[in-house]
Structure 1
Amino acid sequence: MGFQSILVANRGEIAIRIMRAANDLGINAVAVYSEDDSQALHRTVADQAVALKGRGVPAYLNMDGIIEAAKESNCDAIHPGYGFLAENAAFARKCAENGIAFIGPDVEHLELFGDKGRARAAAANVDVPILKGIDRSVSLEEAQEFYASLDGKSGMMIKAVAGGGGRGTRAVTNEADIEDAYNRCRSEANIAFGSGELYVEEFLERARHIEVQILGDKSGNIVHLGERECSIQRRYQKIVEIAPAPNLSETLRANIIYAALSLAKSVNYTNLGTFEFLVSVKTAYEGDSFFFIETNARLQVEHTVTEAVTGVDIVQAQIQLSEGSSFTDIGLDGPNISAPRGFAIQTRINMETLMEDGTVKPSGGTLRSYEVPNGPGVRTDGFGYAGYTTSPSYDSLLAKVIVHSPSPKFESAVRRSLRALSEFRIEGISANIPFLTNVLNHPDFINWSVHTRWV
C-alpha cells in the first residue's frame, strides 16, 4: 500500500516542489515551519502545517521535533529534501524506529557516502578512478606531509569528511597557506556539519564538474538518467547547471556513466543518488581523464534540468521507490527511459549584492514585487511573493529558473535562459540576475570553454 501522508522536513522552494509531487500522486503533504517562517509560502501550499519550536536552522534540525510533528499529523513517511537532515543517517534510523518511512537511500548508504573518505575507498575497490589522496580524517601534520608528497606537481584540496555543497573546502597551492586553510575548513565544517574532520586529495586546477543521476529500486536494479554539467561555480558553490553536459565526447560520457553505475551496483544502492566526477581540462593527465569525488545521497538542487530533458519526475520516482515500487511499476525500466532531448539550463537566483571588489554580500528585506518568468520551456521553482519578508537565518537561494529547449543546439537553450532572466521582476531586495546574465552572455559560456574556476 502506498503512502497516505508525507511530512516534508524542509522549507523554501524544495519543500513546495516535494509537496506538489506528493499531491500529484494523491498523497497528502504536511509542512513544518519554524517560528520565523510563519509567513513562508511552503506552509500555505501544504495540505496541513505543523509549527516547530525554535527559530532558524536549529528548528529544522530537531529530529525529535520533526518526528513528533509527523506522528501528530499521522504521516507514514518523511521527505527530507536537501540540506538540513537529508543525508543524516541517525535521522533515517530514528524514522525507522518510529515506524516512519524515510524517503531516500538506506541508512547504510547514507553512512557510506556521508564519509567522503570511505566513498573514495569504495570507488577504488571497483576500479573507478580517484585522485591521489588520503581516504580518512587527517591531522594538520598529515595534510602537510601529503602536500609535500606531491612534489609541487599539483596543489591540494582540503575537504570536510562529512561535507558537501562546497562548504569546508579549500584549494591550497602554497605550502605556507596549509595551516590557515586547514583551520578555516575545520571551522566551516564544524558549523555546517557538526564535524570538523577533514581529508585531502590532489587538486585539479582546471577541471569540469560532471555528475550522474542514479536511481536504485529495492530489488537491486540500478538505472541512470544521464549526466549534468555543474562547472559554473563560485567558491565551490554551483550557480548554473546544465543537462546534458555540452561538448562532452560520447566515449567520455559513456565511461563516466559506466563508472557511476559500477559504483552504485557494487553497494546495491537504493533510491536517488548523484555520483560526482571531475574531468581534467588541459592538465598533465593524458586524454580526457575523469575522477570520482563524491556521492550525494539525496535530492539535488539541480535535479530539475534532468527532469526537463528526460521527462521523468524525479521526486515522484523517489516517493514511489520508497513505497516499494519497481522500475517497471513506475515506467523506468530500460526501454522506457528516453534519451535526453535538447538542453536544459538552471540558474540559481540568490539574494545577494555584488560589491565593487568582487565579493558577495547576502541581501534581504521585503519583496515589493515578485513576478516570475514563464512561456514555452520555462519553469520557476521559488518561494517568494509580494509582501514576503526574507529571513537572514537561511540560505540565500530565492528561486531557480529552469529552461528547456528541444533543439540540439546549446545556444538555443542559452537564449531562452537569457530571455527568462530578463523577464524576472524582483523589487525590494538585491538579487544576482545581472551577474547570471553576464555569465550566460560570455563567449566562453556559449562555446562551453569553461571549468570550475572560470568564474
Structure 2
Amino acid sequence: MFAKILIANRGEIACRVIDTARKMGITTVAVYSDADAESRHRILADEAVHIGPAPVSDSYLKGDRIIQAALDSGAQAIHPGYGFLSENPDFVAAVEAAGLTFIGPSAASIRAMGLKDAAKALMVKAGVPVVPGYHGERQDADFLAAEADKIGYPVLIKARAGGGGKGMRLVNDPADFAAALEGAQREGQSSFGDSAVLIEKYITTPRHIEVQVFGDRHGNTVHLYERDCSLQRRHQKVIEEAPAPDMPPEVRAAMTEAAVQAARAVDYHNAGTIEFIVDGSGPLRPDGFWFMEMNTRLQVEHPVTEAVTGLDLVEWQLRVAAGEPLPLSQDQIGLNGHAFEARIYAEDPARDFLPAPGPLLHVSFPDGARIDTGVRGGDRISAHYDPMIAKVTTHAASRSEALFRLRQALGRTHIAGTATNLGFLQALCLDDDFASGRMDTGLIGRKQDTLTHVPAPDDAAVLFAAMAALDLDPARPRFGFRLWGSASRRVELVSDGQLVARDLRLLGPGHIAVEDGDTATEFEAVSVSADGMRARCGGRNLLARVARIGGAVSVLLDGRITDFAIIDPLAVEATGGAAENRITAPMTGLVRSVPVQPGSKVGRGDILVVLEAMKMEHSLRAATDGTIEAVHCAVGDNVGDGALLVEFAPADPQPDGESHSENANV
C-alpha cells in the first residue's frame, strides 16, 4: 500500500479522499491555487503545495506542475478526483512516465471510452445494446441531416468528445436541424477542441440509470448495482438514488451484466460507471436500455452506492491501484436499503439557476445525514470553480424513509451569504411524481416554474428576523415606555429586493403581534434559547434558526431560508459619524459601486459605497456633509466585515442648523 499520495483536485472530493486515506494510515498531499489558499482541503491534508493562480488553466489543469509537486513531496501515487485531469489519458501517461501510480484506469481504457462514437462502436462489438443512431466519421451537414431523417425525429445531436450536456442539442423538427448542428459543433469545438458529432434517436420518456463497475489488474470485474440519475437540469444531475426505483430483478441482471461486459471490453481496472439511457414510458424491461457512455473515474454520486453496499469506493480505488485484487467477489457484494444524494449549489433557481459566487457567512449542517463538503462558514464560493457547496446523502431501509430523511436534512441545512438551490431541492423532494418514482430526465424542465417559485416571507419569519434585528428578548423586551396602550416597535427589512415593514406590538409576556396596517398575526410563547427562537401561532409550534450577520439576518424556518437586510432608521449616523470620518463594511461582501473619489464633495446621506452581501445590495451613506479624503476599495473587491472602505473630512457646522446638502433629511 502507498505511504503517501497526492490529490490532484480541490473541494469536497479532495476532502473525501483525504478522509479515507487518513483511515488507512496514508499521508496526503494537497495542491491548491491562489483562490484556495485557506481552503478546507488544504487545511485537512498533511501537506500542501501551491500550484498557481486561480484560473484552472493556470493551476488544476497544469499536469506538469502537479506531477512535479508529487515528486518533490515524495508521493508515490496521484488520485485525480473527478473533473479536471481525471479523464485525461495524456496526464495518466505522464504520471506513469514519471514513475508514479495513477489511481484510476489506464490511459488506453480512457482513450477507448473518451470518444462517444468510437466507444459505441466498441460496445456494439462487445454485444452491449446501444441507441440507434449514426456514429461514423462523415460530418458534412447534408449527410448528417439525411442520417437524422433515417433515424426518425426527435433526434439528439451530441458532441462525440462531450460530457456534462455540452455540445448537445435536442431536435424535434427537421427544419431546426441545421441550426442545432451548427450550435453543437461550435460548442464541441470550444469546449473539447473537437467539433465532430454523433446523431442518436431521442427516447421521449428517458430515464438515466448507471451502473458502478470496478475492475482490478488480476482479471476481476464486478458491478456494485445501479444508480438512478434521472432528476437532471440541462443534463446536469441534481438528485441521485440507489437502487433505481421499480427495478425488476431481470432488468437489473441484464443491465449489470451489460455494464460488466462493457468494462471488460476495454480491460478496465479501478472505479468506473457505465451510463444507460432507459425507456421510462412504462415498466422497465430487459430490452429497453441502451449504452450512452462510460465515465472512467469516480462519480460525484458515488456516496449513494457506498450507502447501499456498505463499501468505501475510495479505499477500493487505492487498493486496486496498489496492485491488490478486488476486496470482494460479486456474490459477496450485497444491496441494503435505499439512499439519496442531493447536490447543494451556490446558484439562484429563481434566476434560471445563475451561479452565485460569494461569501458563505453562515453554514450549518444537520446530524443524521452524510455531508460531503469542501467549505466552512466564512469561506467563499469562487467564480473560478464549480459552485458546489455540499452533497447531502441519506440512507434508510425503504425508499420512502430515505426520501423523508433527505427532506428533513435539507430543511435543517442553513446556509447564508449567497443564493443556494436548497429551496428548489426541497420542492423537488415534495413533488408527487418524484416521491412515487414516476420520473424521467424531463421532469424538472416541465415543472421548473413551480419548483423555483419563491413565496413572500410570512409573518413568522419576519417576527424572528425582527427580533434579531432589534436584539429583542421577549423575556426582557425593550419596547419603550407607554402610559396607555401596548408598546410597539417599527422594523423595516428588505427581502429579495422588496421592502418588508411591520410593527411589533407587545401584548404581554412572550405575546407579540406582527402588524401590517389593519392586519395582525399574534404569536404566543415567544422565546429565545441556545437552539434558536420559538413561538406558537394558530396551534403551530415554530422553531427558527436565526443568524445575524452584520447588517443582515438569515432565518431558517420550516425548512425555508429567508434572508433579510436590516434598514436601520439611524443608519446614516451608524455608517460613520463626524467623529470617526470612516465608512466600514458592515459584513463580508462584494463591492458593487464606488460613486466617489478623493476630493469628491458629499452631503449627509449620499451613497459612498454599494456592497453586495446576503444576496442583496447595501448602500453605505455619508453620515455628514464633507469631502472624500481616501477610498480604500474598488468595484469587484471582496471585503471583510469591518474593512475600512472610505475616509472623509466633515464640513464645518453651519449656523442655525443649515446644511450644505439637499439630502440632509435622508
- TM-score normalized by the length of structure 2: 0.64
Q: Distance in 2 between matches of 1:101 and 1:167?
A: 31
Equivalent residues, number: 441
Q: Distance in 1 between matches of 2:24 and 2:135?
A: 41
Give 2:424's aligned residue: 435
The offset of 1:440, in angstroms, is 0.9
Q: Percent of aligned positions with the same letter in both sequences? A: 39
Amino acid at match of 1:369: H
Q: Distance in 1 between matches of 2:210 and 2:122?
A: 17
**Partner-residue secondary structure (3-state), 2:359:** coil
Q: Deviations over 1:404-430 (max 9, x none)?
A: 11x2x3111110000000111100011
**Partner-residue secondary structure (3-state), 1:400:** strand
Q: 1:349 aligns with which of 344, 349, 352?
A: 344
Q: 1:389 aligns with which of 357, 380, 385?
A: 380
Distance 1:68 1:93, change over 3 A: same
The offset of 1:177, in angstroms, is 2.3
Residue 402 of structure 2 is aligned to residue 403 of structure 1: no
Q: Deviations over 1:86-112 (max 9, x none)?
A: 010000001111001111011110000
Alignment of 1:76-115 (within 5 A): 76-115=76-115
Give 2:121's aligned residue: 121
Distance 1:287 1:71, change over 3 A: closer
Q: Deviations over 1:346-374 (max 9, x none)?
A: 00101111236xx2211021111011122
Q: Distance in 1 between matches of 2:189 and 2:174?
A: 24
Instruction: Kindly indicate whether the alpha-carbon contact (under 8 Å) linking 1:227 and 1:245 is maintained by their aligned counterparts in 2.
Output: yes
Amino acid at match of 2:17: I
Point out the structure with the larger strand share: 2
Q: Distance in 1 between matches of 2:34 and 2:248?
A: 50
Q: Distance in 1 between matches of 2:386 and 2:191?
A: 12
Instruction: Kindly indicate whether the alpha-carbon contact (under 8 Å) linking 2:227 and 2:244 is maintained by their aligned counterparts in 1.
Output: yes
Give 2:494's aligned residue: none
Give 2:487's aligned residue: none
Point out the structure with the larger helix share: 1
Instruction: Kindly indicate whether the alpha-carbon contact (under 8 Å) linking 1:309 and 1:343 is maintained by their aligned counterparts in 2.
Output: yes
Alignment of 1:55-70 (within 5 A): 55-58=54-57, 59-70=59-70
Give 1:147's aligned residue: 148
Distance 1:185 1:39, change over 3 A: farther
Amino acid at match of 1:246: P
Give 2:175's aligned residue: 176
Q: Distance in 2 between matches of 1:282 and 1:43?
A: 47
The offset of 1:335, in angstroms, is 4.1
Instruction: Kindly indicate whether the alpha-carbon contact (under 8 Å) linking 1:212 and 1:226 is maintained by their aligned counterparts in 2.
Output: yes
Q: Distance in 2 between matches of 1:4 and 1:187?
A: 45
The offset of 1:268, in angstroms, is 2.2
The offset of 1:189, in angstroms, is 2.8
Distance 1:196 1:397, change over 3 A: farther
Instruction: Kindly indicate whether the alpha-carbon contact (under 8 Å) linking 1:229 and 1:244 is maintained by their aligned counterparts in 2.
Output: yes
Q: Between Structure 1 and Structure 2, whose CA radius of gyration is higher?
A: 2
The offset of 1:288, in angstroms, is 5.4
The offset of 1:57, in angstroms, is 1.5
Instruction: Kindly indicate whether the alpha-carbon contact (under 8 Å) linking 2:381 and 2:387 is maintained by their aligned counterparts in 1.
Output: no
Give 1:22's aligned residue: 21
Distance 1:387 1:206, change over 3 A: same
**Partner-residue secondary structure (3-state), 2:229:** strand
Give 1:420's aligned residue: 409
Give 2:355's aligned residue: 362
Q: Deviations over 1:142-173 (max 9, x none)?
A: 331221213xx431111122222222222111
Q: Distance in 2 between matches of 1:248 and 1:262?
A: 20
Distance 1:174 1:271, change over 3 A: same
Amino acid at match of 1:128: V
Instruction: Kindly indicate whether the alpha-carbon contact (under 8 Å) linking 2:232 and 2:239 is maintained by their aligned counterparts in 1.
Output: yes
Give 1:334's aligned residue: 330
Give 2:4's aligned residue: 5
Say which is worse superposed, 134-143 or 204-213, in terms of deviation. Answer: 134-143
Instruction: Kindly indicate whether the alpha-carbon contact (under 8 Å) linking 1:136 and 1:161 is maintained by their aligned counterparts in 2.
Output: no
**Partner-residue secondary structure (3-state), 1:52:** strand
The offset of 1:287, in angstroms, is 7.5
Structure 1 outlier segments of 4+, above 4 Å: 285-288
Give 2:516's aligned residue: none
Q: Distance in 2 between matches of 1:360 and 1:70?
A: 37
Q: Distance in 2 between matches of 1:91 and 1:450?
A: 38
Distance 1:425 1:139, change over 3 A: farther
- TM-score normalized by the length of structure 1: 0.93
The offset of 1:384, in angstroms, is 1.8
Give 1:71's aligned residue: 71
Give 2:366's aligned residue: 373
Q: Distance in 2 between matches of 1:37 and 1:389?
A: 9
Distance 1:14 1:171, change over 3 A: same
The offset of 1:386, in angstroms, is 1.4
Q: Distance in 2 between matches of 1:396 and 1:189?
A: 23
Amino acid at match of 1:365: G
Instruction: Kindly indicate whether the alpha-carbon contact (under 8 Å) linking 2:117 and 2:198 is maintained by their aligned counterparts in 1.
Output: yes
Amino acid at match of 1:367: L
Q: Distance in 2 between matches of 1:154 and 1:203?
A: 7
Give 2:658's aligned residue: none
Instruction: Kindly indicate whether the alpha-carbon contact (under 8 Å) linking 2:250 and 2:286 is maintained by their aligned counterparts in 1.
Output: no
Alignment of 1:48-59 (within 5 A): 48-58=47-57, 59=59
Q: Distance in 1 between matches of 2:52 and 2:330?
A: 46
Name the structure, 1 or 2, with higher relative contact order (CA <8 Å, separation 6+): 1
Instruction: Kindly indicate whether the alpha-carbon contact (under 8 Å) linking 2:279 and 2:289 is maintained by their aligned counterparts in 1.
Output: yes
